[in-house]
Amino acid sequence: MSAHELNAFLLQVGDDPLLQGRLRDSDAAAASALARGTGFDVTVGDLTRYKARATTWQLSDQELEVVAQWQPADQPYWWQHMWLG
């Protein structure tokens, strides 16, 4: 999936009140199925990443600490590679 697919799907939903209602009543799996049913390759992961980017700024520092704890120990953080080269 690309951001293009997700954006195109959201644009289509914005023009269709029926789709808006169906999307509003959908969890992530149903939203993905709705997108695929309308011809867009949108996964649950795509929707979750979109939501995370859109809402991260709303989280408190304490909530973000909990999110950071979910990171697997073997997956490095972006800043651990900034000055390698």
- 63 or 6, greater pLDDT: 6
Write the pLDDT tens digit of every residue in 2-48.
Answer: 678 898 999 999 999 999 999 999 988 999 999 999 999 999 888 88
Please give the pLDDT value at position 4.
82
Please give the pLDDT value at position 37.
96
The answer, as to whether pTM is greater than 0.85, is no
Judge whether 77 and 71 are in contact, CB under 8 Å: yes
Please give the pLDDT value at position 74.
79
Q: State the angle between helix axes of 17-24 and 28-37 in degrees (0 to 180), rounded to the nearest 10.
A: 150
